[in-house]
Amino acid sequence: NAGVTQTPKFRILKIGQSMTLQCTQDMNHNYMYWYRQDPGMGLKLIYYSVGAGITDKGEVPNGYNVSRSTTEDFPLRLELAAPSQTSVYFCASSPKGDRVEVGNTIYFGEGSWLTVV
């Protein structure tokens, strides 16, 4: 299993450009998440999905859009990039969300470094 795979790993965008961060997982997990992490700060939840066709906002959804057409993929779209969106983005997945069950946990990707100039 590859786990959670994010692409690209690094990207520089100009203000106003748009782009999509790709995330795919091969563990057949129902739950998927997008977080952003600003320098020296904790992770902030952007959007999450509890299954194909279902998405919901997290703490900081403004400026982003997501879709979940398949169980495997959960892309994050930035429509009009702004300098405030310069951050590290983490995609994650979980078999049953954050529910407390033995052996259940969240698996994170390696991160995507995005700079908006």
Partner 1 sequence: DAKTTQPTSMDCAEGRAANLPCNHSTISGNEYVYWYRQIHSQGPQYIIHGLKNNETNEMASLIITEDRKSSTLILPHATLRDTAVYYCIVLRRNTDKLIFGTGTRLQVFP
Binding site for partner 1 (CB under 8 A): 4, 31, 33, 35, 37, 41-45, 48, 50, 56, 58-59, 88, 90, 92, 97-100, 105-111
In the complex with partner 1, the residue whose CB is nearer, 18 or 28, is 28
> Angle at Cα 50 formed by Cα 21 and Cα 106, nearest 5°?
70
In the complex with partner 1, the residue whose CB is nearer, 56 or 79, is 56
Q: How far is the CB of 113 from partner 1 (least distance, A)?
A: 8
Q: How far is the CB of 16 from partner 1 (least distance, A)?
A: 27
Scanning the structure block, which residue is given the tokens 């698996």?
A: 107
Q: How far is the CB of 65 from partner 1 (least distance, A)?
A: 18
Return d(Cα 25, Cα 62) in angstroms, integer: 25
Are the C-beta atoms of 106 and 96 separated by less than 8 Å? no
Q: How far is the CB of 111 from partner 1 (least distance, A)?
A: 6
In the complex with partner 1, the residue whose CB is nearer, 81 or 87, is 87
Per-residue DSSP letter, 95: S
Identity of the residue numbered 33:
Y
In angstroms, the first-to-last Cα distance of the chain is 36
